[in-house]
Structure 1
Amino acid sequence: MPPANAELVTQLLRLIEVRLLDPLEILVDGDPAIDSLRAVVRDRAHSWAATMVGGDEQAAYGVIVRAISTLYPGDAPFHPPLDWWRTPLGQIVARRVGHPTAESVSYAVAGAMLGITRQGVHDLAARGKLARHPEGGVLSAAVRDRLLREGTRHA
């Protein structure tokens, strides 16, 4: 498995353990059935990561949206901290989907997604290299497209 996939699998496993399995284990008072779920998740995490990284667009989108909605539930739109975009999951989401819940993103978010400064995003937008959104910020799809043109980018 390529290192990027290994890092993504590790992050997915950590998030699922902390956000889903550990609380469920507490809720069911340590029932051993949770061990079976942990094994299933370990096996599936490799498949999810492979699909996110190398699957066709529709399959990758589906896995990413399911993961985000499951691991980051809430009534408000998904709004991760800027550092999140530098994680393996954040980077693959940026490359494959853009921002999963926003048509436009601020210059700061776009910078985090691209691995550049906010000023760098402003310069790209001013030169017409990154499409602005009419209501402010830049198009999430434009950030994704730029990442795809540049190839794999690691934080």
Structure 2
Amino acid sequence: MGITKVDDADGLDAAIEEARRHDPKVIVEALLRGREIECGVLEFEDGPRASVPAEIPPVEAHSFYDFEAKYIDSASGIVPAPLTEEQTRRVQELAVRAFDATSCEGLVRADFFLGEDGEFVINEINTMPGFTPISMYPRMWQESGVSYPELVDLLVQAALRRPTGLR
């Protein structure tokens, strides 16, 4: 919501106004060309671990993976992502590093672009990813060998291990 892809400077003012309809703070960033790769991170008793990654393929009816493509048209990701073993290890490592660097707890879904140069660039960290039947987070963990009930149990266990109060 509030995200607009702009192809030239003429569309920037309208895109900023659309974003301001949703929040007074606006981020403008350069377009990154590449594949959209997601990776789940889950806090286990011995520390955070990454799921198998998923890929969000281009949606032909949309210029990018926007709200409508994700939630209205139910664009579905590919789990596991068709990556090399080295790329899989790298994105899993980066996802866990992002989790640690931002002092996350419990779970995150780390979203990346895999650039044409072969490098991963983090796009965002979702600290409360979706849990619907079409959501990528539980699908990635299912493919990683953690069922939905086990996933919920692991999240409850992680929450119970945390101390209360400010950290």
TM-score normalized by the length of structure 1: 0.31
Say which structure is richer in helix. 1
Say which structure is richer in strand. 2
